[in-house]
Amino acid sequence: MHYLYLAVIAAVVLGVIVGFAAPGFAKGLAPLGTGFVNLIKMMISPIIFCTIVLGIGSVAKAAKVGKVGLLAIGYFLAMSTIALVIGLVVGNLLHPGSGLHLNPADAAKAHQQATGGEGSTDFLLGIIPESLLSAFTEGSVLQTLLVALLAGFALQKLGPAGKPVLRGIEHIQKLVFRILSMIMWAAPVGAFGAIAAVVGATGWSALRSLLVVMLGFYITCVLFVFVVLGAILWFGARISVFSLMRYLAREFLLIVSTSSSESALPRLIAKMQHLGVSRSVAGITVPTGYSFNLDGTAIYLTMATLFIASAQGSPLSIGEQISLLVFMVIASKGAAGVSGAGIATLAGGLQSHRPDLVGGVGFILGIDRFMSEARAVTNFAGNAVATVLIGNWTKEFDRERAHLVLSGQEPFNETMVDDESTPEPAPEREKVPA
C-alpha cells in the first residue's frame, strides 16, 4: 500500500499545481473526485451491514467470558466517548474550513430538498425498509443499520446454530473489504480531481484550511495519547506511556508503512503476553479492541465532519454534531484496521444525516491518506494501553516483569512471532497486586 500512499501524495501535489496554473481547466476536473466519492458510497451499505452484524457477535462472544470481556467493552465505550468529546472541542475551537464556502448555494438547495417537509414521524418511518434487501438497493444507510442490528441480535438468539451464518458474513466482509481496497487504488485520480477543482476555485485559502485541519488532528492525537492515555495508564497501572510506546516502536513503524493497525494485531498480542499480561486477557482484549476501541477514528471523524460542514457554509449545530458522530462511531465498529474504511464511514454518516455534505468527502480525500496513519497509530496505542490496564485491574498482569521488559533487561524475541503464530507466554511470576 505504500505505492498507493506515494501516488496520492504525487496526485495532491499535481492537483495543487494544476489548480494554480490553470484554474478554469482545474474546475472542470471536479467529476473525477465526484466519481471516486460515488464509488465509496457504493460500498457503504455492505460495509456497515457486515461490520455491525459481526460487531454484535463480538460483544456476545466477549460478554460470555465474564469479567474481562465486560470490563474491556465498558472501557472501550468510555474512551471512545472521551475521544469524541475531545475532537468536538478541538474542532469547534479551530473552525476548520471556515471561509471557504464551497458551493454554498448548491449545498443549501440540496439540504432543503433532502429535509423539506419531513417531520420526525416521516423520518422514523423512513428508517423501515420495504424489504430486507431494499435497504441495500435504495442507498439508505439508516435502513441498512436497522437491518444489520436486527440480523445481529437474531444471530445471537440462534446461538451455535448461527455460527455458520456468522462465518459466511465474515467471508462476505473479506470480499467487501477486498473490493474497497481495489477502489482505493483510484484514490490518486479522485484526489487529483478534487484538489485541483477546489484550489482552482478558492486558491490559497483551500490549502490553508486543509493544513489547519490536518495539523489540528495530529496535535489532538498526540495530546490524547500522551496526556489522556498517559495519565490513565500511570494512575491505573503505574506504567509510563513513553516506555510502552518505545517498546512498541516496531509495530508503529509497521502501521505507518501500511496505514492499517490490522497488520500489527498478531504482534501486539505477542508483545502484551511478553510484557506480563496473561494469555487470556490479551487474547480477549486486543481483538475486541480492534473493533470497539476507536479513539483515533473518533477524533478523525469529528474533525473531518466539522471541516466539511464549515467548508460548504453549512455548519452543524451541537445536537447535529453529537447524533451524527455517535452514528459514525457505531457504524465504524469492526473496520478500524482496514485502510480506506475511515473515508467510507465518513461518507456513510454524512449520507444518512446530511446528504448535502457528502460531496465534501472528495475534498477531505486529498489529506485522508496523511491522516490515516495518525488515526491507526492512535487506535493501536489505545488498544495497548487498554490491555495493560485491564490486565492490571483483573490481577492478570505481572508488573515486575513489565518493568524488566520495558527497561530492556528482557527483550522481546523477534523470531517468536509471525503472521500465523504467537509466542508462548512468559514464565509465571508472582502477580503484583494493583
Domain of 282, CATH number, reads 1.10.3860
In a domain, 434, yes or no: no
Q: Identify the three-state secondary structure at position 428.
A: coil
Q: What is the mean pLDDT of residues 128-139?
A: 75
Identify the bridge partners of residue 397 per DSSP, sorted by sequence position: 277
Per-residue exposure over 179-206, b if at least 16 CB sit within 10 Å of its own CB, e if not = ebbebbeebbbbbbbbbbbbbbbbeebb
Interacting residues of 373 by C-beta distance below 8 A, sequence separation 6+ = 255, 256, 259
Q: Give backbone dihedrals phi and psi of 418, rounded to 5 degrees, phi first.
A: -145, -170
Using one digit for the tens of pLDDT, what is the confidence trace for 309-323?
777 777 777 777 777
The residue length of the chain stands at: 434
CA distance linking residue 292 with residue 123, whole number of Å? 28
Q: Which residue has the higher pLDDT, 423 or 359?
A: 359
Q: Which residue has the higher pLDDT, 1 or 90?
A: 90
Of 17-26, 208-217, 236-245, 360-369, which has the strongest mean pLDDT? Answer: 236-245
DSSP string computed for 86-146:
HHHHHHHHH-TTTT---SHHHHHHHHHHHHTT--HHHHHHHTS-SSTTHHHHTT-HHHHHH
Element of type H or E holding 209: helix 204-223
Interacting residues of 89 by C-beta distance below 8 A, sequence separation 6+ = none
pLDDT at 230 over 90: yes
Q: What is the mean pLDDT of residues 388-402?
A: 89
Residue 132 banded pLDDT, cuts 50, 70, 90: confident
Residue 212 banded pLDDT, cuts 50, 70, 90: confident
pLDDT at 433 over 50: no
**Helix, strand, coil percent content, the chain, rounded in steps of 5:** 80, 0, 20
CB atoms within 10 A of CB 134: 12
CA distance linking residue 426 with residue 156, whole number of Å? 35
CA distance linking residue 392 with residue 430, whole number of Å? 13
Q: What is the mean pLDDT of residues 293-308?
A: 81
* Burial class, 5, CB count within 10 angstroms (exposed 0-12 / middle 13-18 / buried 19+): buried
Of the candidates 132, 137, 110, 41, the residue with the CA atom closest to the CA atom of residue 345: 41
Using one digit for the tens of pLDDT, what is the confidence trace for 341-369?
667 677 777 776 777 777 777 667 666 76
Q: Which residue has the higher pLDDT, 29 or 338?
A: 29
Mean pLDDT of the chain: 74
pLDDT at 244: 92
CA distance linking residue 304 with residue 374, whole number of Å? 13
Residue 202 banded pLDDT, cuts 50, 70, 90: low
CA distance linking residue 264 with residue 277, whole number of Å? 17
Q: Which residue has the higher pLDDT, 246 or 313?
A: 246
In a domain, 359, yes or no: yes
CB 40 within 8 A of CB 183: yes
In a domain, 432, yes or no: no
Range of the domain at 154: 2-416
Identify the bridge partners of residue 418 per DSSP, sorted by sequence position: 421
In a domain, 64, yes or no: yes
* Burial class, 236, CB count within 10 angstroms (exposed 0-12 / middle 13-18 / buried 19+): middle
* Burial class, 335, CB count within 10 angstroms (exposed 0-12 / middle 13-18 / buried 19+): buried
Cell numbers placing 276: 506480563
CA distance linking residue 411 with residue 426, whole number of Å? 12
In a domain, 431, yes or no: no
Percent of the chain whose predicted confidence (pLDDT) is above 70: 73
pLDDT at 227: 93
Interacting residues of 265 by C-beta distance below 8 A, sequence separation 6+ = 286, 287, 290, 337
Q: Which of 195-204, 226-235, 403-412 has the lowest mean pLDDT?
A: 195-204
In a domain, 389, yes or no: yes
Split into its structural domains, the chain has a count of: 1
pLDDT at 226 over 90: yes
Residue 431 banded pLDDT, cuts 50, 70, 90: very low
pTM of the model: 0.66
Angle CA(391)–CA(396)–CA(398) in degrees, nearest 5? 95
Per-residue exposure over 262-290, b if at least 16 CB sit within 10 Å of its own CB, e if not = bbbbbbbbbbbbbbbbbeebbbbbbbbbb
In a domain, 43, yes or no: yes
CB 340 within 8 A of CB 369: no
- Cα–Cα distance list, 202 to 37, 194, 208, 355 (Å): 21, 12, 10, 23
In a domain, 154, yes or no: yes
Using one digit for the tens of pLDDT, what is the confidence trace for 41-57?
777 778 778 877 776 76
